[in-house]
């Protein structure tokens, strides 16, 4: 019996993982799959170009604490792309721009 999964199904599963599981998953991929290859940022993360992040995911992406992240939003350095109920969602492009400014 063979088992196959589409890239979209795999991506949906990865999005459901906890942060620690994602770190382990991508570490294993990096160790085993990319050792001898030279991939650019677009090849690895291009599919995230139009994705949105929750506030917690965005803070993690920026590598800042939630209080620091909230200050960025309150000061206008970062604006949510969408608000659903009490949840703010942030675009990958906006997060990338802010991260470039911060580093």
38, part of any domain: no
Give pLDDT tens digits for 26-72: 777 777 665 656 666 566 666 666 678 899 999 998 999 999 999 99
pTM: 0.54
Which tokens belong to 51? Answer: 């994705």
| CATH code assigned at 97 | 1.10.1660.10
β-pair type (87-91, 52-54): antiparallel
65, part of any domain: yes
42, part of any domain: no
16, part of any domain: yes
What's the domain range around 12? 7-33+50-102
| CA–CA distances in Å: residue 51 to residues 4, 74, 92 | 25, 22, 6
* pLDDT exceeds cutoff 60 at 1: no
Supply the pLDDT for residue 2: 59
43, part of any domain: no
The residue that leads in pLDDT, 33 or 89, is 89
Order of strands across the sheet that contains 52-54: 52-54, 87-91, 82-84
How many structural domains is the chain composed of?
A: 1
Give dist(CA 89, CA 92) in Å, integer.
10
Query: By C-alpha distance, which of 66, 57, 45, 41 is closest to 95?
Result: 57
Residue 37 backbone dihedrals phi, psi, to 5 degrees: -105, 155
């Amino acid at each position: 019996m063979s088992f196959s999964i589409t890239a979209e199904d795999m991506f949906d599963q990865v999005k459901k993982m906890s942060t620690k599981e994602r770190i382990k998953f991508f570490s294993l991929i990096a160790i085993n799959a990319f050792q001898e290859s030279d991939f650019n940022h677009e090849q690895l993360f291009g599919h995230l170009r139009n994705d949105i992040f929750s506030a917690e995911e965005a803070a993690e992406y920026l590598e800042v604490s939630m209080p620091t992240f909230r200050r960025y939003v309150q000061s206008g350095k970062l604006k949510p792309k969408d608000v659903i109920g009490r949840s703010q969602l942030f675009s990958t492009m906006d997060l990338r721009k802010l991260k470039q400014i911060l580093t």
